[in-house]
Structure 1
Amino acid sequence: MNEQNLEYLKKSLNYLGFGTKLNDVLESAISREIPAFTLGVNQSYTSAQAKKGPVIGSDQMRVMLNFNRSKQSDMYFLNDYEVTLLKAGNALPIKQVFDLERDNRITALQAYKLLSGNALERDVYTKSENGEATENKKVWFKLNLDVQDAYGNHPLKKFYPEFKFDLSEAIDKYPFKGLTELGKEGMMKVLKNGNLAQADMLVGKKSIPVFVTANPQFKGLEVYDKSMVVIRQDDIFPKQEKVQRNDVSEGQSTFRESDLSAAKTEERFPWENQQDGEISQSGEIGR
Structure 2
Amino acid sequence: MENNNLELLKKNLKYLGFGNSLSAALEAKISQRLEQFKIGVSSEFDAFPKDGNQGKDKVNYELSFSKTPSSNFYFLDQLRVTLNDRIQNVFPFGKGNDVTAKEAYNLLRGASIHKKAILNRQVDNAVLAPSEVGQVKEVSGERIESIWIKLDFEKLNEQGNFYYKKFYPDHGFHLETELRKYPIKELDSQQEKEALISNIRRGNAANATLENGQSVVIEADPETKKIRFYDTAFKELFVSPIPTQEIDR
TM category (shorter chain) comes to 0.5 to 0.7
Aligned residue pairs total 214
Structure 2 equivalent of residue 220 of structure 1: 226
Mapping of 1:1-150 within 5 angstroms? 2-47=2-47, 56-86=54-84, 93-102=86-95, 104-124=97-117, 126=137, 128-129=139-140, 137-150=145-158
Residues 198 and 211 in structure 1, CA contact (< 8 A), matched pair in contact too: yes
| 1:127–1:161 Cα change, 3 Å | same
Tell me which moved more, 5-14 or 33-42.
Answer: 5-14
2-side partners of 1:100 and 1:197: how far apart? 27
Instruction: Indicate how the Cα distance of structure 1 residues 179 and 7 shifts in structure 2: closer, same or farther if over 3 A, else same.
Output: closer
Task: Decide whether the 8 Å contact of 1:147 with 1:154 is kept in 2.
Answer: yes
Cα deviation 1:36-83 (Å, max 9, x = unaligned)? 111101112123569xx8x83321111001111222221212111100
8 A Cα contact 1:171 1:220, kept in partner: no
List runs of 5+ in structure 1 lacking aligned partners. Answer: 87-91, 202-207, 238-287
Give the structure 1 partner of residue 125 of structure 2.
none
Query: Contact 2:97 / 2:116 at 8 angstroms: preserved in 1?
Result: no
RMSD: 3.7
TM-score w.r.t. length of structure 1: 0.60
Decide whether aligned partners of structure 1 residues 199 and 8 sit closer, same or farther in structure 2, where only a CA change above 3 A counts: closer
Task: Find the aligned partners of 1:36 and 1:164 in 2 and give their Cα distance.
Answer: 43
One-letter code of the match for 2:223?
A: Q
Q: Distance in 2 between matches of 1:74 and 1:192?
A: 36
1:195 paired residue number? 204
With normalisation by structure 2, the TM-score equals: 0.68
Note the C-alpha offset of 1:191. Answer: 2.2
Distance change >3 Å, CA 146–CA 225, structure 1 → 2: farther
Shift of the 169–147 alpha-carbon distance from structure 1 to 2, 3 Å rule, reads: same
Structure 2: distance between partners of 1:146 and 1:172: 33
Structure-to-structure mapping, 1:199-278, within 5 angstroms: 211-222=217-228
Describe the SS at the equivalent of 1:104. Answer: coil
- Note if contact 2:47-2:54 (Cα within 8 Å) is conserved in structure 1: no
> What is the deviation of 1:218?
2.6
Q: Which structure is richer in relative contact order (CA contacts within 8 A, separation 6 or more)?
A: 1
Amino acid at match of 1:191: I
Check whether the contact 1:49–1:226 (CA below 8 A) recurs between aligned residues: no
Calculate percent identity across the aligned residue pairs. 31
Q: Residues 20 and 190 of structure 1: is their aligned pair in 2 closer, same or farther, counting only changes over 3 Å?
A: closer
> In structure 2, the residue corresponding to 1:155 is in which secondary structure?
strand
Equivalent of residue 160 in structure 1, options 160, 163, 168: 168
Residue by residue, what CA displacement relative to the aligned partner does 1:143-179 show, whole Å, maximum 9, x if unpaired?
2234433322122233333433222444467xx6x54
User: CA–CA distance in 1 between the matches of 2:20 and 2:196?
Assistant: 32
Take 1:27 and 1:210, find their aligned partners in 2: how far apart are those partners? 43
Structure richer in strand, relative to its length: 2
Amino acid of the structure 2 residue aligned with 1:21: S
